[in-house]
């Protein structure tokens, strides 16, 4: 399995699917999640990691609207997802 696929699999299980399958998630947030998934698939492993940090984690960055949406939607597992992502993909 490639590192890219490993990252995508992790995000599918821990971020994308829980958001997309939740009946309480707003449609705008689901659209943003599908867009994030698509943009992640267009990058190599290093680009995926950088994009994840810039878009999801760094909520203070001007372009990090997805991270702010995660906070506004009250995604409870975000801290755990971020910590696990950091541990699994720190070597890249």
Q: What is the Cα–Cα distance from 57 to 63, expressed in whole angstroms?
A: 11
Residue 77: per-residue pLDDT:
80
Query: Among candidates 35, 38, 47, 45, which has minimal Cα distance to 1?
Result: 45
* Residue 59: pLDDT over 80: no
Burial of 7 per CB tally in 10 Å (0-12, 13-18, 19+): buried
* Residue 6: pLDDT over 90: yes
Q: How far does Cα 19 stand from its chain's mean position? A: 10
Q: How do the domains of the chain map onto residue ranges?
A: 3-88
- What does the pLDDT look like over 34-56, one tens digit per residue? 999 999 999 999 999 999 988 88
Model's pTM, two decimal places?
0.87
């Amino acid at each position: 399995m490639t590192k890219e696929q490993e990252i995508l699999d992790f995000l599918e299980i821990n971020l994308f699917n829980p958001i997309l399958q939740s009946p309480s998630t707003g449609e705008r947030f689901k659209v943003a999640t599908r867009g994030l998934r698509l943009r992640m698939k267009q990058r190599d492993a290093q680009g995926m990691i950088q994009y994840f940090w810039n878009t999801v984690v760094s909520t203070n960055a001007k372009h990090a609207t997805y991270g702010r949406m995660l906070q506004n939607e009250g995604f409870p597992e975000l801290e755990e997802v971020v910590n696990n992502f950091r541990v699994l993909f720190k070597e890249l």
